[in-house]
């Protein structure tokens, strides 16, 4: 037996799933999905055990070839991995069928009441499978190293729409229910399995892209993301043809725990991107970039997560450079650098988690999540690019994408490829210090630009109106992120009085300000912080604000009280994360 992944029971001596057929019925009353899943193997089974990942699933039937019931054991749950479902698969079996019901507490799912939606009339359901939550909606080999195609049908109330990160195959009304069919012809890792059900409408943005969301914010969403085709063209010019046919967007309910999730063909986005000024579209560029880095070439397991996110941040900033110019890309890189320093400070007790390659046996990947794989990964690639030259590095990237397309790769695979394509490059940048050393090597690339220098000039003090008159939200964010925390109350008062930061409509600026203000004990922001925590479930915003409140004696009780008040509106993944923060 050989496990493929510290976060999966999948075993490389056992049959490999090649495709899925998922028929699911969504029960909004009981908060469960009842499903029938056929797993088809890459080749007929040799006979013996098959271990699948599950979490909280109630298995009702397991059927083999010819309709025979199969023997199985559902092992006791591991707190991180869930329950191993061990199935006795007869020799020659090409597929098996499993009937099961999900738990109302399924970690991938959030069930929203009508009150938690924009329209207030209909319930809503959505999934978030990354990192290891797919197993809470379907028994599977839940490791990115195993890809599968699928067909699916979702049986939902007829007044609702179901969407999936897959190609749409049609909708059929049966009484008060609708059956919606989907197909995913490109093989994907299980963490990219995704769907949503709700009162959804769509609007075309280009021949290969449309945006979906609740009707009340459809126009706002279509305006914010109108330039998506420009993103696609820029990305294709950099990384080669887009392989997933469509690039649709789904603007989620506010409780969506991430900024964006790169579900193939249908990127999920937080509604907090609807700032009304198109200032946050770098998240779209990021999720689009995953179509190459992550979805086409996937890190084999969470220990190599930087191959997904570091490469994607690199690709995101290249796209941004094409669309908004080098100055904007540099500002984003500088914000990233600031966040990386904050992540290093937070991990002061766990320097091993600041390595690019991590060891995560016994560690929940959601707990290990940080900016390190994103921003340190980005800086490592910038170091390689600087040493190789941009042209040579672009060629290397395209060899990387070509070699592992629709496959999975490890850090060693990347290092070996670099050494083969540009011998000596790894030694030149001291790759071992980047990959297996904590923190940052002594010498590293730094963004440089005139706009960046202008922000750096006022670092740590209150800037004058003349100095800020041309600032975009990105400059404000960078300035606020770089302020000492805590800062003197007088500085907070002057900033707020001069620039009305507490009334900022841009969520990135507002959150950077609220964090600075809360860490400084500037009480006038508390109503605004409370309002934000009650309306948005994006973890990137919740985490630093709760941390700032919990970190000061006078607001500690408030942090706990707000968590209790708003908890049920947060996604299970966000609740779990916040329990850790408040512990």
The catalytic site residues sit at: 287, 374
Nearest to 191 by CA among 155, 236, 147: 147
Structure tokens at 156: 């939902």
Q: E strands, 190-289, where?
A: 195-198, 201-206, 209-213, 248-251, 260-261, 266-269
Environment class of residue 176 by beta-carbon count within 10 Å: exposed (0-12), middle (13-18) or buried (19+)?
exposed
Q: Is 570 in the site for ligand BES (CB under 6 A)?
A: no
Of the pair 309, 413, the CB lying nearest Zn ion is at: 309
Non-local CB neighbours of 579 within 8 Å, separated by 6+ positions = none
CB 549 within 8 A of CB 518: yes
Task: Give least dist CB 473 to Zn ion, A.
Answer: 21
Give the per-residue contact string, 290-319, with Zn ion (x = CB under 5 A; - = no). Answer: -------------------x--x-------
Of the pair 54, 312, the CB lying nearest Zn ion is at: 312
Give the per-residue contact string, 47-86, with ligand BES (x = CB under 6 A; - = no). Answer: ----------------------------------------
| Residue 540 touches which member of ligand BES, Zn ion, none, C-beta under 5-8 Å by kind | ligand BES
Of the pair 283, 401, the CB lying nearest ligand BES is at: 283
- Selected from 131, 356, 396, 495, the binder of ligand BES by CB under 6 A is 131
# residues contacting ligand BES (CB under 6 A): 16
- Selected from 286, 317, 355, 357, the binder of ligand BES by CB under 6 A is 286
Cα separation, 97 vs 52, whole angstroms: 13
| Residue 337 touches which member of Zn ion, ligand BES, none, C-beta under 5-8 Å by kind | none
Q: Tell me the window of 7-15, 161-169, 283-291, 542-550 that interacts with ligand BES (CB under 6 A).
A: 283-291
Beta pairing partners, 417:
none
| Residue 261 touches which member of ligand BES, Zn ion, none, C-beta under 5-8 Å by kind | ligand BES
Structure tokens at 313: 């941040």
| Residue 331 touches which member of ligand BES, Zn ion, none, C-beta under 5-8 Å by kind | none
Environment class of residue 230 by beta-carbon count within 10 Å: exposed (0-12), middle (13-18) or buried (19+)?
middle
Non-local CB neighbours of 553 within 8 Å, separated by 6+ positions = none
CB 85 within 8 A of CB 14: no
Pairing label, strands 177-188, 167-174: antiparallel
Label each residue of 397-414 as H, E or C. HHHHHHHHCCEEECHHHH
- Selected from 53, 214, 287, 481, the binder of ligand BES by CB under 6 A is 287
| Residue 371 touches which member of Zn ion, ligand BES, none, C-beta under 5-8 Å by kind | none
Of the pair 273, 462, the CB lying nearest ligand BES is at: 273
Q: Is 540 in the site for ligand BES (CB under 6 A)?
A: yes
Site for Zn ion, rule CB under 5 A? 309, 312
Site for ligand BES, rule CB under 6 A? 130-131, 258-262, 282-283, 286-287, 290, 309, 369, 374, 540
């Amino acid at each position: 037996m050989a496990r493929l992944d510290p976060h999966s029971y999948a075993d490389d001596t056992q049959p490999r799933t090649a495709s899925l057929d998922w028929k699911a019925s969504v029960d909004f009353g009981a908060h469960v999905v009842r499903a029938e899943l056929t797993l088809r193997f890459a080749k007929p089974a040799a006979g013996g055990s098959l271990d699948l990942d599950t979490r909280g699933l109630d298995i009702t039937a397991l059927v083999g070839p010819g309709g025979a019931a199969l023997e199985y054991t559902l092992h006791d749950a591991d707190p991180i991995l869930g329950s191993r479902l061990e199935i006795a698969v007869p020799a020659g079996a090409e597929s098996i069928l499993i009937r099961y019901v999900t738990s109302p507490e399924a970690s991938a799912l959030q069930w929203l009441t009508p009150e938690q939606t924009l329209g207030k009339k209909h319930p809503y359901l959505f999934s978030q499978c990354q990192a290891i939550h797919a197993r809470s909606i379907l028994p599977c080999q839940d490791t990115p190293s195993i890809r599968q195609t699928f067909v699916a049908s979702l049986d939902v109330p007829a007044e609702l729409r179901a969407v999936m990160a897959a190609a749409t195959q049609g909708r059929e009304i049966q009484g008060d229910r609708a059956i919606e069919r989907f197909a995913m012809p490109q093989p994907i890792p299980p963490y990219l399995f995704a769907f949503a059900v709700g009162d959804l409408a769509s609007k075309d943005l280009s021949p290969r892209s449309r945006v979906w969301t609740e009707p009340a914010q459809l126009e706002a969403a279509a305006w914010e993301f109108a330039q998506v085709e420009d993103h696609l063209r820029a990305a294709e010019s950099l990384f080669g043809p887009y392989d997933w046919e469509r690039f649709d967007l789904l603007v989620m309910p506010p409780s969506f725990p991430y900024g964006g999730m790169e579900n193939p063909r249908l990127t999920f986005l937080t509604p907090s991107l609807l700032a009304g000024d198109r200032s946050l579209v770098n998240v779209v560029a990021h999720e689009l970039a995953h179509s190459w880095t992550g979805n086409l070439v996937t890190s084999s397991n969470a220990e190599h997560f930087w191959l997904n996110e570091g490469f994607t941040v690199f690709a995101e900033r290249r796209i941004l450079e094409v669309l908004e110019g080098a100055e904007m890309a540099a500002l984003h890189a500088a914000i990233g650098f600031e966040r990386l320093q904050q992540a290093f400070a937070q991990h002061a007790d766990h320097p091993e988690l600041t390595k690019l390659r991590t060891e995560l046996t016994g560690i929940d990947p959601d707990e290990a999540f940080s900016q390190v794989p994103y921003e340190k990964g980005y800086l490592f690639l910038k170091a390689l690019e600087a040493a190789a030259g941009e042209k040579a590095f672009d060629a290397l990237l395209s060899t990387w994408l070509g070699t592992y397309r629709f496959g999975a790769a490890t850090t060693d695979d990347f290092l070996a490829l670099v050494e083969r394509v540009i011998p000596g490059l790894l030694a030149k940048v001291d790759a071992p210090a980047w990959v297996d050393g904590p923190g940052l090597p002594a010498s590293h690339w730094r963004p440089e630009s005139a706009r960046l220098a202008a922000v750096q000039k006022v670092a740590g003090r209150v800037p004058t109106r003349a100095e800020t008159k041309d600032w975009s939200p990105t400059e404000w964010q960078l300035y606020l992120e770089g302020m000492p925390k805590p800062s003197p109350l007088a500085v907070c008062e002057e900033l707020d009085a001069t620039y009305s930061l507490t009334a900022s409509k841009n969520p990135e600026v507002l959150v950077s300000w609220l964090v600075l203000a809360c860490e400084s004990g500037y009480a006038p922001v508390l109503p605004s912080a409370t309002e934000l925590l009650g309306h948005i479930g994006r973890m990137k915003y919740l985490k630093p604000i709760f941390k700032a409140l919990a970190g000061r004696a006078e607001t500690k009780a408030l942090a706990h009280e707000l968590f209790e008040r708003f908890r049920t509106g947060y996604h299970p993944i966000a609740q779990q994360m916040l329990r850790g923060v408040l512990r």
